[in-house]
Amino acid sequence: MLSRLHWWTSSRTLAAPARLFSQTPIVPAKPLPPRLKISDADISISYLKGTGPGGQKINKTNSAVQIIHKPSGVVVKCQATRSQSQNAKIARSLLADKIEALENGDNSRVAIKAAAAKKKKASKMKKTRRKYRELGEGAKEGGIEEEEDEVEIIWDDDVKEGETKETESETGGGGEAKSEVPGKGV
Amino acid sequence: MICIYIYISLSLLASTGGISWHQRSSTTTRIPMMPRIPFSVIIKAQRENHLLPILLKECRTIDSARNELRWLRERAVRDSQSLSSKTGWRSRLRSMCQMRSRGYPLQYILGDQPFGHLEILCRRGVLIPRPETESYTYQAAKLVRQMARGCNDKSESPNQARPLRVIDLCTGTGCISLLLHALLAPHFQKLEIVAVDISPTALGLAQENLKHNLQMGQLASSAGTDIHFHCADVLRYGCNNSVPSIESILQIQLPNFGASDTSPPVQESGCDLLISNPPYISQTEFRNGTTARSVRRFEPKLALVPPHSGSGVEDCMPEDIFYHRILTLAFKLRAKLTVLECGDSHQASRVVALHNRLASTESGQFSAEVWPSRERDLAENGFHATDGSRCVIIQALQ
Residue A20, domain member (yes or no): no
Residues B247 and B302 placed together within one structural domain of the fold: yes
Residue B269 has pLDDT above 60, yes or no: yes
Contact B107 A61 (CB under 8 A): yes
Asked if B375 contacts B385 with a C-beta cutoff of 8 angstroms, the reply is yes
Task: Give the CATH number, domain containing residue A93.
Answer: 3.30.160.20
Contact B384 A56 (CB under 8 A): no
Instruction: Tell me what pLDDT residue A176 has.
Output: 36
State the Cα–Cα distance between residues B126 and A61, nearest whole angstrom.
17
Please state which of the ranges A122-131, B59-68, B236-245, B299-308 shows the lowest mean pLDDT: B236-245
Task: Give the CATH number, domain containing residue B280.
Answer: 3.40.50.150
Residue B48, domain member (yes or no): yes
Q: Which residues pair with B274 in a beta bridge?
A: B167, B338
When pLDDT is cut at 50, 70 and 90, the band that residue B308 belongs to is confident
Q: Could you tell me which of B394, B243, B244 has the C-alpha nearest to residue B333?
A: B394
Nearest chain B CA: its distance from A86 CA (Å):
8
| Chain B residues with CB-CB distance to A17 below 8 A | none
When pLDDT is cut at 50, 70 and 90, the band that residue A143 belongs to is low
Distance set, CA B143 to CA B122, B148, B301 (Å): 28, 9, 32
Q: Could you tell me which of B124, B47, B109 has the C-alpha nearest to residue B79?
A: B109
DSSP letters, B112-152, are EEEETTEEEE--TTSPPPPHHHHHHHHHHHHHHHHHHHHHH
Peptide bond into A17 cis (omega under 30): no
> What sign does the CA torsion over B76, B80, B83, B86 have?
positive
Residue A142 has pLDDT above 50, yes or no: yes
Helical (H) or strand (E) element with A68: strand A64-69
Bridge-based pairing of strands A43-48 and A64-69 is antiparallel
Q: Could you tell me which of B172, B381, B184 has the C-alpha nearest to residue B273?
A: B184
| Chain A residues with CB-CB distance to B61 below 8 A | 50-51
Counting the structural domains of chain A, the total is: 1
Residue A96, domain member (yes or no): yes
State the Cα–Cα distance between residues B176 and B183, nearest whole angstrom.
10
Residues B279 and B191 placed together within one structural domain of the fold: yes
State the Cα–Cα distance between residues B55 and B41, nearest whole angstrom.
12
Asked if B235 contacts B310 with a C-beta cutoff of 8 angstroms, the reply is yes
Residues B234 and B321 placed together within one structural domain of the fold: yes
Question: At B294, which amino acid appears?
Answer: S
* Closest chain A residue to the Cα of B386, Cα to Cα: A53
Helical (H) or strand (E) element with B275: strand B273-276
Residue A173 has pLDDT above 50, yes or no: no
Q: Judge whether B279 is closer than 8 Å to chain A, CB to CB.
A: yes
Residue B237, domain extent: 131-150+162-257+268-397
Q: Judge whether B173 is closer than 8 Å to chain A, CB to CB.
A: no
State the Cα–Cα distance between residues B7 and B316, nearest whole angstrom.
56
Contact A62 B64 (CB under 8 A): yes
| Chain B residues with CB-CB distance to A11 below 8 A | 77
| Chain A residues with CB-CB distance to B290 below 8 A | 57
Residues B178 and B61 placed together within one structural domain of the fold: no
Nearest chain B CA: its distance from A81 CA (Å):
8
Shortest CB distance from B64 goes to which of A11, A16, A61?
A61
Q: Which residue has the higher pLDDT, A183 or A25?
A: A25
Average pLDDT over residues B42-50: 95
Residues B68 and B176 placed together within one structural domain of the fold: no
Asked if B310 contacts B234 with a C-beta cutoff of 8 angstroms, the reply is no
Q: Judge whether B278 is closer than 8 Å to chain A, CB to CB.
A: no
Q: Judge whether B135 is closer than 8 Å to chain A, CB to CB.
A: yes
Residue B356, domain member (yes or no): yes
Contact A47 B343 (CB under 8 A): no
Residues B361 and B219 placed together within one structural domain of the fold: yes
Residue A86, domain member (yes or no): yes
Residue A142, domain member (yes or no): no
Residue A128 has pLDDT above 70, yes or no: yes
Alpha helices in chain B (DSSP H): 2-12, 18-26, 39-48, 52-59, 62-83, 89-101, 106-110, 131-155, 175-184, 200-216, 223-226, 246-253, 259-262, 283-287, 293-298, 321-333, 345-359, 375-381
Please state which of the ranges B8-22, B56-70, B200-214 shows the lowest mean pLDDT: B8-22
Asked if B131 contacts B147 with a C-beta cutoff of 8 angstroms, the reply is no
Residue B155, domain member (yes or no): no
Contact A59 B292 (CB under 8 A): yes
Residue B112, domain member (yes or no): no
Q: Judge whether B58 is closer than 8 Å to chain A, CB to CB.
A: no
Cα-to-chain-centroid distance, residue B89: 31
Q: Could you tell me which of B73, B317, B135 has the C-alpha nearest to residue A65?
A: B135
Q: Judge whether B130 is closer than 8 Å to chain A, CB to CB.
A: yes
Residues B45 and B189 placed together within one structural domain of the fold: no
Residue B9, domain member (yes or no): no
Please list, in sequence order, all residues whose beta carbon lies within 8 angstroms of the beta carbon of residue A177, skipping any fewer than 6 positions away.
none
Residue A51, domain member (yes or no): yes
| Chain B residues with CB-CB distance to A50 below 8 A | 61, 64
Contact B285 A82 (CB under 8 A): no
Residue B384, domain member (yes or no): yes
Distance set, CA B107 to CA A82, A123, B124, B128 (Å): 10, 47, 9, 7
Residue A64, domain extent: 38-133
* Closest chain A residue to the Cα of B376, Cα to Cα: A46
Residue A146, domain member (yes or no): no
Residue A155, domain member (yes or no): no
Q: Which residues pair with B368 in a beta bridge?
A: B394
Instruction: Tell me what pLDDT residue A48 has.
Output: 74
Counting the structural domains of chain B, the total is: 2
Residues B135 and B98 placed together within one structural domain of the fold: no
Q: Which residue has the higher pLDDT, A16 or A175?
A: A16
pLDDT in tens, A12-61: 444 455 666 777 777 766 777 788 888 888 888 888 765 566 788 888 88
Residues B136 and B60 placed together within one structural domain of the fold: no
Residue B361, domain member (yes or no): yes
Chains A and B form CB pairs within 8 A to the count of 107
pLDDT in tens, B189-230: 889 999 999 999 999 999 999 999 999 999 999 999 999 999
| Chain A residues with CB-CB distance to B387 below 8 A | 52-53
Residues B185 and B305 placed together within one structural domain of the fold: yes
Residues B224 and B354 placed together within one structural domain of the fold: yes
Residue B117, domain member (yes or no): no
State the Cα–Cα distance between residues A39 and A35, nearest whole angstrom.
13
> What sign does the CA torsion over B268, B272, B278, B280 have?
positive
Bridge-based pairing of strands B227-231 and B273-276 is unpaired
Residues B83 and B175 placed together within one structural domain of the fold: no
Residue A164, domain member (yes or no): no
